[in-house]
Amino acid sequence: MVGIVDVAKKANVSTATVSRVLTKPETVRGTTMEKVLKAIEALNYQPNLLARQLRRLETKTILVVVPDITNPFFSKVLRGIEAVAVAKGYQVLLGDTGNDVEREKGYLNILQQKKADGMVLLTARMDAAAVEEVARSFPVVLACEYIEGSRIPTVSIDNISGARKATEYLIDLGHERIGCITGPLDIVLSRDRLKGFYQAMARKNLIVDPVLVQEGDFSFDSGFNLMMKFFALGQLPTAIFAASDDMAMGVIKAIKSKGLKVPEDISVLGFDNLKFSSIFEPGLTTIAQPAFEIGENAMELLMKLINKEEVKREQIILADQLVVRESVRTI
């Protein structure tokens, strides 16, 4: 492999000069510049970034930890992150945890081992203390998720108000017996959506039937199964708020499988606004999260941390939006 010394030799200059041509061209004379460039060209020299990084103590790489890259919501956030990263000359190291807390923890080491300059976490199921610890010494930002009582910079929507808005929409259309299928309750974000649901019900003085609140795991299957459970229990609500579009679709499938119709018999409202939610029939009424923008903002925030710029707001809350389609109707 050709190294900087080969180029230096060929161009009859020192390695320092070659290095300067590459990194501070304004400090070398035009004629030597040409000589060096010619040598680089001739040898097809590419600097070894490992060496540069070791010397500069920076990798121009950031780590993104995702619970499941297969989930279109996360992949869209990831794309937002990537877009900004590339624009700023950074590369993205991918850490898919497969929803496994242990693997999630493992990725924390990558920062300490200096393989990345910073990290964006799209999941934070591990113990808060460990994350805090790492965040004290390295740039870390949370996207989507947040950690209660922590000052780690975060980008997300307001899940409580989003869920509240969704539930109020159902109530305003006349629904009173409303079911809620939540995400895994060990995740703050799931608890927030549930909280928003309760808040809306309480504000309108409606009673929540505990049977109608069930814990899912955001997946289509869990939505399907929990709806089937409602059928089995003989406890049918007039509307259901599902904490993810995937689950909402599962719920609708279950309803259809029983020969009932959405929204005629039961209304269903989702959360996320996946691309597929508009293709699905009936079109899902849902709370839209600006996934791409969440990614962009998270990466921009991370850049500021890396560059030690002042960060005014540590918690960025982006706007969510109720998207009305056909899966909900007035009672």
- Alpha-carbon distances of 68 from 78, 275, 282, rounded to whole Å: 11, 17, 26
Q: By CB under 7 A, tell whether 42 contacts DNA.
A: no
Identify what 211 binds: DNA, its own copies, none; CB under 5 to 8 Å per kind: none
Residue 330 binding partner per list its own copies, DNA, none, with a CB distance cut-off of 5 to 8 Å that depends on partner kind: none
**Which 8-state DSSP code applies to residue 62?**
E
Binding flags for its own copies, 96-135, as an x/- string (CB under 8 A) = x-x----x-----xx-xxxx--------------------
Q: How far apart are CA 20 and CA 23, in angstroms?
A: 5
51 interacts with DNA by CB under 7 A = yes
Q: Which of 48, 235, 257, 307 binds DNA (CB under 7 A)?
A: 48
Q: How far is the CB of 42 from DNA (least distance, A)?
A: 15
SS3 call for 126: coil
Helix (H) or strand (E) holding 270: strand 267-272
Strands 91-96 and 239-242: unpaired
Q: Which is nearer to DNA, 113 or 205 (CB)?
A: 113
Q: Give CA–CA dist 47/37, Å, rounded.
A: 13
Give residues 255-314 in contact with its own copies (rule: CB under 8 A): 275-276, 279-281
Task: Report d(CA 173, CA 189) in Å as an integer.
Answer: 26
Cβ-based nearer residue to DNA, 34 or 309: 34
Cβ contacts of 305-313, under 8 Å, gap ≥ 24: 305/118, 305/139, 305/140, 305/141, 305/153, 306/62, 306/117, 306/118, 306/139, 311/153
Selected from 229, 253, 304, 329, the binder of its own copies by CB under 8 A is 253
Binds DNA by CB under 7 A, chosen from 9, 37, 43, 52: 52
Instruction: Rule CB under 8 A: say whether 23 interacts with its own copies.
Output: no
Question: Can you give the binding site for its own copies, defined by CB under 8 A?
Answer: 46-51, 53-54, 59, 61, 64, 69-70, 72, 75-76, 78-79, 82-83, 86, 91-96, 98, 103, 109-110, 112-115, 220, 249, 253, 275-276, 279-281
